[in-house]
Amino acid sequence: MQDPHYSLSYYQAYTCPVCRHGKISALPLMEAFACSFCRHIFTANLEKQAITMADGQLPLTWYWTGRNWQGMTDQNRFGLGYGLGAIAFVLLPTAIVGLGAYLFPPLPGSRLSWFPLFWTGLTLLAHLACLLWLILEYYQFPLYLYLQALRQRNNS
């Protein structure tokens, strides 16, 4: 049986911190790891027990705790501001459109009385889709591969 705590080394495979689906293992003759699923490349710092994404838009770093990956605190704080911005980006336009529909209600019984509600919902969905796309782009998440793997798992 394997000890659940083990250190970061080039002789082990670890769950990928990006897709959390594939395994990252050392590339032969290189001080780098590659994911078997999303194909991201990570450079490793064994002294600090850390890996850094080498092919991403941002040099994201994770620390190996012996059991799982932990992102840097700076990254998390950075993410909180983005999170709040993202919530505002989705909710504010929806609230404005919804408020408009509430303040200026359509004539009852008119043919387009469903429209303000529909438009409010559409605003929400459009901004949500925009946000999702940005997140996927930012992490370069392999959405297509992921869906394909899910489908294969369901079939078998």
Would you tell me which residues interact with Zn ion (CB under 5 A)?
A: 16, 18-19, 22, 35, 37-38
Measured from the CB atom, the residue of 71 and 93 that comes closer to Zn ion is 71
| Alpha carbons 110 and 84: distance in angstroms, whole number | 38
- Smallest separation, CB 24 to Zn ion (Å): 7
Considering the complex, state which of residue 61 and residue 120 has its C-beta at the smaller distance from Zn ion. 61
Cβ at position 69, least distance to Zn ion in Å? 11
At closest approach, how far in Å is the CB of 106 from Zn ion?
Answer: 49
- Give 126 or 135: the residue with its C-beta nearer to Zn ion: 135
CB of 149 to Zn ion, least distance (A): 11
Query: Are the C-beta atoms of residues 116 and 106 closer than 8 Å to each other?
Result: yes
Reading the block at residue 62, the tokens are: 């994770």
In 10 A of CB 10, how many CB atoms?
14
For Zn ion, which is the closer residue by CB, 39 or 127? 39
C-alpha span between 102 and 71 (Å, rounded): 43
User: Which residue from 47, 53, 57 is spatially nearest to 72, judged by alpha carbons?
Assistant: 53
